[in-house]
Amino acid sequence: MTEPGFRRTTVGNVRLHVLPTDRFKTFAVALYIGSPLDEEKVTLNALAPFVLRRGTRSYPTTQLFREKQAEMYGAGFGFDVYKRGDSQLVQFQLDIVDDKFVSEKESLLRQGLRFLGEAVTKPALADGHFVPKYVEDEKETVRKKLDALINDKARYAAERCLAEMCKNEPYRLHPLGAVADIPGITPDSLYRNYMSWLSDSPMDLYIVGNTSEAEAKAFVEEAFEFPARPSSPGYASSFAPVKVDRVNTVVEQLDVSQGKLNMGLRSGIGYADDRYAAALMYNGILGAYPHSKLFLNVREKESLAYYAASRYDGHKGIVTIQSGIEVGNYERAVQIIREQLAAMKAGDYSETELKQTKAMITNHLREIGDSAFEMIAYDFNTVLSGKERTVEQIAGEIQACTPEAIQGVAETVELDTIYFLRDRKGD
Amino acid sequence: MEVITIERLQEKLYKEELAGGLTVFVLPKPGFSKTYATFTTDFGSIDNHFRLAGGKDIRVPDGIAHFLEHKMFEEPEGDIFATFASHGASANAFTGFERTTYLFSATDLVYENLKTLVDFVQHPYFTDQNVEKEKGIIGQEIKMYEDNPDWRSYFGLIAAMYKEHPVRIDIAGTVETIAGIDKETLYECYNTFYHPSNMILFVVGGVDPEKVFELVRANQAAKTFKPQGEIERLQPEEPAEVGVKEVVVHLPVSLPKMYFGFKEPSGVPKGEALVRRELAVKLMLDALIGPSTPLYQTLYDEHLISDSFGHEYNIAPDYAFSVIGGDTPDPERLLARFRELAEPMIAAGISAADFERTRRKRIGSYLRMLNSPEAIANEFTRYRFSGGDLFELLPLYDSLTLAEINGLLREHFDWRRLAVCTVRSGEA
């Protein structure tokens, strides 16, 4: 990558990160607002973006708001609510067409930022709080989303495994909150939470595209009406390894055609750790790729599954395994997976597995620069974890990673929870 | 080698048809680290009955195009994923109604990976044993889809709409239909549809077009491809009416999920008319029921729909239909209200302001899509096989007229050709 990295400044105690580039056809904008996962606030925080997108000071009805969006060539406006480590994140996004492809009187970046600034900081209000109809509608929307978690059985099983595993930690909370919290929320309580959320939360605004730091900053200053923010907080590093004493097995029954097997493992290693690259290698060899142990042994050798993979969450230090199998093959699948985990502990991997995994991880890292949003997401991980590490640096650590280092990671990995979603037939 | 400059998009497309019949396209993206390449055949789940000029009539089991895609990765020396992985390439494949695509993405050893891609797809290796083994894996894939409410309602709707046309069959087939697949039939499909003249190679990213063409030219020249006549794709007579008006599927879901759609009496032959109709109908649907419309807002305010409510339009030479819907607490009421609200709007037509705004929105989506090498390769190939050109859509958008959109509006919503598929929890 020949471009320089993000230029960083602040606006109203909000961190602004700008990457000038002309490689893309759009401006990518992302605003991250974070809070600690907290059962008192999780649902209030999650509900806020749903209400904000219903109307703003200048576009008080949802139809007007969306028409404005459409007029700006779609604007790619959206938001997401998810969890990372012990933080709940709300991420707003815009993907605005670069002016050179269309003829607009006013810069589309300026229009887009103004639109986002309205959405986040100038909501439509009634009597000094959110519009009651919007709040009622969106309470309903969030409730339906939480109820609908059960629909996608593979995802539901993965969520349930984590909820069981982390039942004594904030991570057990779903990022959208809890259905039980919803009835008690009022337009006023939501608004008050939103105001303190805006004034106290760590915020990071990213802009990638054909602009300059100065121009972007000027547009942001003009567009956003942040409340007075006493400081520009970072994220508390909350990573703490958890000791496992015994494996907890949970079986749930629903009318499913295929059994969903999920496992959760604790690793002592987080994103900020010096051993992070080795942890990525561990996960890569175990189950991240079609050449990995899980794919080869569960799917290809035994034909037990279509998907058999592992994922590593560096913010939480958790490895998860997912596989969809015939209910009757549960014991066999668990046995094969345990064998792969044992092989990892024993350092049983070939030169080829090592080489292939290094090549795949390095490839993935090098591809990040080809996408504005991937670059933003990567950089935000460094902000969230407090660990500065460029793509080049981590790629170098991956290349240099030794089997001993990977085995060192394997020694810290312990199976914590097995969760199996199966049908109601038989035993 | 031909160079096509697309001024408005600031892109340059390189093209060449090679010995053997393969057409190759290269879209260089200076400054990009990765290269993404797709090798696609014009063969999908709907091609279950065909004949080569002068040959015999062949019918193949449901799910065979997808099965073939799975088996392609196996070679005598092992799985080709391993070769790609050793060269740091992320490889994959997928099968749709009309096409099967093999692809890789890599930032290093790009030309080696390109050679691997072309060679492995042009070298089928099916044995009785490796065919048998795949049945278990695909069986699990099928079961995975069986548990997915989105999948079941979407494909359930198509199966209801179409009585005879193979668009109604499951792309992966069923456990029963794949049980009947053998290596001989796989080779028969392969030899018919994987001839280079029926395929497109598209390479996009940080590559040198000259080097790509040199490599692929030499690669193809070293292989022998007998010239092949036209493939006759035999499609059954499909009545204009829907097969079944209403279908219900029982799955454990929190709320019912309903998709309904309108079946158009026929498709449009490949070429500009097909491409234009697709763009125009999609714009029309967006203008009538997109998220910024009064229809959408009213249904949302009445709590009949949520963010999951969307729409889609599929068109091919011999079928065309819309799919509309999402999660709803009351499918019957949603459909009734939809009709009540839509009918006067359809009669009145879309306004000039709404048309202009929607056109801008669609143009924005199109430009946004062009940031993605994956989308470029796949959409270009799709349009090419349909007789169109992904890079010529802006002038097409510019030329659409309000009258045209309103004509399609009235034409499309024929309530006699409505079908509905609902997924809901079974009675307790």
pLDDT digits (tens, 9 = 90+) for B156-174: 999 999 999 999 999 999 9
User: CB–CB of B66/B186 below 8 Å?
Assistant: no
Q: B377: pLDDT confidence band, cut at 50, 70 and 90? A: very high
In a domain, residue A1? The reply is no
Clarify whether residues A263 and A408 are in a common domain.
yes
Clarify whether residues A167 and A283 are in a common domain.
no
Chain A interface includes B348 (CB < 8 A)? no
Chain A interface includes B328 (CB < 8 A)? no
Chain A interface includes B86 (CB < 8 A)? yes
- Provide the annotated active-site residues of B: 69
Residues in chain B with CB shorter than 8 Å from the CB of A299 are 137
Chain B interface includes A101 (CB < 8 A)? yes
**Cβ contact A100–B426 (<8 Å):** no
Contacts of residue B20, defined as CB under 8 A and 6 or more positions apart, other chains included, come to B196, B197, B220, B221, B223, B225
Kind and range of the H or E run holding A20:
strand A14-20
Domain boundary among A171, A188, A223: A223
How far is CA A292 from its chain centroid?
A: 24
Give me the half-sphere count of Cα atoms (radius 13 Å) on the Cβ side of residue A377. Answer: 13
The pLDDT value recorded for residue A1 is 45
Chain B interface includes A179 (CB < 8 A)? no
Length of chain A (residues)? 427
How many whole angstroms separate alpha carbon B309 and alpha carbon B183? 43
How many structural domains is chain A composed of? 2
Chain A interface includes B253 (CB < 8 A)? yes
Q: Which residues pair with A125 in a beta bridge?
A: A130
Clarify whether residues A366 and A268 are in a common domain.
yes
Chain A interface includes B371 (CB < 8 A)? yes
- Whole-number percent of chain A with pLDDT over 90: 93
Chain B: nearest CA to A12, how far in angstroms? Answer: 30
- Which two tokens mark B46? 């709907």
> What value, to the nearest 5°, has the Cα angle with vertex A192 and ends A188 and A194?
115
Chain A interface includes B219 (CB < 8 A)? no
Residue with structure tokens 């000027």?
Answer: A218
In a domain, residue A274? The reply is yes
**Cβ contact A101–B292 (<8 Å):** no
**Cβ contact B81–A291 (<8 Å):** yes
In a domain, residue A150? The reply is yes
Nearest to B294 among A63, A291, A307 (CB): A63
Contacts of residue B62, defined as CB under 8 A and 6 or more positions apart, other chains included, come to B45, B48, B166, B169, B170, B173, B174, B177, B178
Report CA dihedral (A170, A174, A177, A179) to the nearest 10 degrees. Answer: -120
Number of CB atoms found within 10 A of residue B67's CB: 26
In a domain, residue A132? The reply is yes
Clarify whether residues A389 and A300 are in a common domain.
yes
CATH code (residue A120):
3.30.830.10
Clarify whether residues A208 and A260 are in a common domain.
no
Chain A interface includes B31 (CB < 8 A)? yes
In a domain, residue A317? The reply is yes
Where do runs of H (alpha helix) occur along A245-371? Answer: 276-283, 293-294, 330-345, 351-367
| pLDDT tens for the 427 residues of chain A, in order | 457 799 999 999 999 999 999 999 999 999 999 999 999 999 999 999 999 999 999 999 999 999 999 999 999 999 999 999 999 999 999 999 999 999 899 999 999 999 999 999 999 999 999 999 999 999 999 999 999 999 999 999 999 999 999 999 999 999 999 999 999 999 999 999 999 999 999 999 999 999 999 999 999 999 999 999 999 999 987 677 888 989 999 999 998 989 999 999 999 899 999 999 999 999 999 999 999 999 999 998 888 988 999 999 999 999 999 999 999 999 999 999 999 999 999 999 999 999 999 999 999 999 999 999 999 999 999 999 999 999 999 999 999 999 999 999 999 999 999 999 999 987 5
Instruction: List the B100-106 sheet strands across, edge first.
Output: B2-6, B11-17, B23-28, B199-205, B35-41, B100-106, B90-95
How many whole angstroms separate alpha carbon B79 and alpha carbon B87? 14
**Cβ contact B357–A76 (<8 Å):** no
How many whole angstroms separate alpha carbon A378 and alpha carbon A395? 13
Chain A: nearest CA to B302, how far in angstroms? Answer: 9
User: CB–CB of A40/A88 below 8 Å?
Assistant: no
User: CB–CB of B421/B259 below 8 Å?
Assistant: yes
pLDDT digits (tens, 9 = 90+) for B53-110: 888 999 999 999 999 999 999 999 999 999 999 999 999 999 999 999 999 999 999 9
In a domain, residue A67? The reply is yes
- Phi and psi at residue A15, to the nearest 5°: -70, 130
How many whole angstroms separate alpha carbon B354 and alpha carbon B283? 10
Nearest one of A93, A80, A14 to A46, comparing CA atoms: A80
pLDDT digits (tens, 9 = 90+) for B333-374: 999 999 999 999 999 999 999 999 999 999 999 999 999 999
Chain B interface includes A144 (CB < 8 A)? yes
Interface test with A, best of B8, B116, B143, B356 (most A CBs within 10 A): B143
Kind and range of the H or E run holding A161:
helix A153-165
**Cβ contact B147–A256 (<8 Å):** yes
For residue B250, give the chain A residue with the closest CA. A255
Chain A: nearest CA to B276, how far in angstroms? Answer: 20
The pLDDT value recorded for residue A427 is 58
**Cβ contact A366–B34 (<8 Å):** yes
pTM for this entry:
0.95
**Cβ contact B140–A148 (<8 Å):** no
Residues 40-79 of A with CB under 8 A from B: 62-63, 66-67, 69-76
Chain A interface includes B81 (CB < 8 A)? yes
Chain B interface includes A2 (CB < 8 A)? yes
How many whole angstroms separate alpha carbon A47 and alpha carbon A45? 6
How many whole angstroms separate alpha carbon B234 and alpha carbon B60? 12
Q: Give the β-pairing of A78-84 and A87-97.
A: antiparallel
Clarify whether residues A219 and A295 are in a common domain.
no
Nearest one of A352, A354, A337, A333 to A407, comparing CA atoms: A354
User: CB–CB of B202/B40 below 8 Å?
Assistant: yes
Contacts of residue A103, defined as CB under 8 A and 6 or more positions apart, other chains included, come to none
Q: Which DSSP category does A123 fall into? A: B
Clarify whether residues A106 and A34 are in a common domain.
yes
The pLDDT value recorded for residue A250 is 97
Chain B: nearest CA to A121, how far in angstroms? Answer: 21
Clarify whether residues A320 and A263 are in a common domain.
yes
In a domain, residue A242? The reply is no
Chain B: nearest CA to A147, how far in angstroms? Answer: 6
Interface test with B, best of A64, A281, A306, A358 (most B CBs within 10 A): A306
Residues 174-193 of B with CB under 8 A from A: none
Q: Which residues pair with B106 in a beta bridge?
A: B35
Contacts of residue A297, defined as CB under 8 A and 6 or more positions apart, other chains included, come to A308, A336, A339, A340
Give me the half-sphere count of Cα atoms (radius 13 Å) on the Cβ side of residue A121. Answer: 22
Chain A: nearest CA to B2, how far in angstroms? Answer: 24
Domain boundary among A207, A223, A239: A223
The pLDDT value recorded for residue B427 is 63
Residues 285-314 of B with CB under 8 A from A: 290-294, 297, 300-301, 303, 306-307
Nearest to A324 among B29, B140, B251 (CB): B140
Contacts of residue B426, defined as CB under 8 A and 6 or more positions apart, other chains included, come to A255, B250, B252
Q: Is the pLDDT of residue B428 over 60?
A: no
Contacts of residue B57, defined as CB under 8 A and 6 or more positions apart, other chains included, come to B49, B51, B234
Chain B interface includes A304 (CB < 8 A)? yes
Number of CB atoms found within 10 A of residue A233's CB: 14
**Cβ contact B88–A359 (<8 Å):** yes
For residue B106, give the chain A residue with the closest CA. A363
Q: Which residues pair with A110 in a beta bridge?
A: none
**Cβ contact A291–B82 (<8 Å):** yes
In a domain, residue A2? The reply is no
Domain that holds residue A211: 7-223
How many whole angstroms separate alpha carbon B155 and alpha carbon B379? 22
Clarify whether residues A209 and A304 are in a common domain.
no
How far lies B401's CA from each of A18, B266, B274, B406, in Å?
A: 40, 23, 16, 9
Chain B interface includes A253 (CB < 8 A)? no
Clarify whether residues A205 and A88 are in a common domain.
yes
Spell out the SS3 assignment of chain B.
Answer: CEEEEEHHHCEEEEEEECCCCCEEEEEECCCCCCEEEEEEECCCCCCCEEEECCCCCEECCCCHHHHHHHHHCEECCEEHHHHHHHCCCEEEEEECCCCEEEEEEECCCHHHHHHHHHHHHCCCCCCHHHHHHHHHHHHHHHHHHHCCHHHHHHHHHHHHHCCCCHHHCCCCCCHHHHHCCCHHHHHHHHHHHCCHHHEEEEEEECCCHHHHHHHHHHHHHCCCCCCCCCEEECCCCCCCCCCCCEEEEECCCCCCEEEEEEECCCCCCCCHHHHHHHHHHHHHHHHHHCCCCHHHHHHHHCCCCCCCCEEEEEEECCEEEEEEEEECCCHHHHHHHHHHHHHHHHHHCCCHHHHHHHHHHHHHHHHHHCCCHHHHHHHHHHHHHCCCCHHHHHHHHHHCCHHHHHHHHHHHCCHHHEEEEEEECCCC
Clarify whether residues A252 and A193 are in a common domain.
no
Q: Is the pLDDT of residue B116 over 80?
A: yes
Residue type, A245: D
End-to-end C-alpha distance for chain B, whole angstroms: 65
Nearest one of B54, B119, B51, B58 to B84, comparing CA atoms: B119
Nearest one of B427, B385, B423 to B159, comparing CA atoms: B423
> What value, to the nearest 5°, has the Cα angle with vertex A234 and ends A233 and A236?
115
Clarify whether residues A204 and A284 are in a common domain.
no
- Which two tokens mark A284? 């890569």
Chain A: nearest CA to B230, how far in angstroms? Answer: 36
**Cβ contact A137–B146 (<8 Å):** no
> What value, to the nearest 5°, has the Cα angle with vertex A43 and ends A41 and A48?
95
